């Protein structure tokens, strides 16, 4: 696979926050490429996340979007894995409360489920799998993990999803209290997409 660096990359999401965040991460990692979200391709259908792993879902989405758009595509599947909940919500993170993408409800449900869990047992991880696929069937997937713990209440105005309740190891702030570049430097998504960038640069 030889990556054509002049072609745009399609990001398999209609989440504008993700598009902006991943464009920032890819650019800071030295990958000079235009990243476009699915809003630019209204005819491409939503891809159901039916796999049981982050890597499986990321590949499923990247593969489907690449085939539908005729362009190279990247996709990520990420989520929160809570030790006290046996690794859940995991791949169900975006729809943990029953409705996909309801960040506030998802966050409040997780906090309610660990309300009586003592601080030393509130360990958690943010996990991200980032996948790349081309129309010819070439593909690969990489992963990133950020270790941390859960706050007792939401804090911070930055980020999205579970960021307001996740405190990375070695920090006193939640990922929603970190500045964007600070979060990018340590985040699970930043790790995964920097690894993806390295692979793409090696194949360009």
DSSP state of 90: G
As given in the structure block, the two tokens for residue 150 are 């859960």
Catalytic residue among 77, 102, 103, 136: 77
Backbone dihedral region of 101: left (phi > 0), alpha (psi from -120 to 50 degrees) or beta?
A: left
Half-sphere exposure of 179 toward its Cβ, with a 13 Å CA cutoff?
Answer: 2
How far CA 138 is from CA of 63, 69, 76, 118, 125, in Å, comes to 9, 15, 16, 46, 30
Active site residue 77: yes
Burial level of 166, CB count in 10 A (0-12/13-18/19+)?
Answer: buried
Q: How many residues does the chain have?
A: 204
DSSP string, 29-84: TT----EE-GGG-TTSPPPP---SSHHHHHHHHHHHHHHHHSS-EEEEEEEEEEGG
What is the set of active-site residues? Answer: 77
């Amino acid at each position: 696979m030889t990556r054509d660096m002049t072609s745009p990359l399609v990001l398999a999401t209609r989440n504008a926050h993700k598009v902006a965040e991943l464009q920032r991460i890819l650019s800071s990692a030295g990958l000079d490429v235009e990243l476009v979200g699915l809003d630019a391709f209204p005819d491409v259908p939503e891809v159901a996340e039916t796999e049981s792993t982050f890597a499986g879902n990321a590949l499923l989405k990247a593969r489907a979007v690449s085939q539908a758009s005729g362009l190279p595509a990247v996709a990520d599947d990420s989520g929160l894995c809570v030790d006290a909940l046996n690794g859940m919500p995991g791949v169900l993170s975006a729809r943990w409360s029953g409705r996909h993408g309801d960040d506030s409800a998802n966050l409040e449900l997780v906090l309610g489920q660990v309300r009586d869990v003592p601080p030393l047992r509130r360990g958690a991880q943010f996990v991200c799998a980032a996948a790349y696929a081309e129309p010819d069937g070439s593909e690969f997937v990489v992963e990133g993990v950020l270790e941390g713990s859960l706050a007792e209440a939401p804090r911070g105005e930055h980020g999205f999803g579970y960021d307001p309740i996740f405190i990375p190891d070695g920090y006193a702030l939640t990922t929603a209290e970190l500045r964007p570049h600070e979060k990018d430097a340590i985040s699970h998504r930043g790790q995964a997409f920097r690894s993806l960038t390295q692979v793409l640069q090696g194949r360009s």
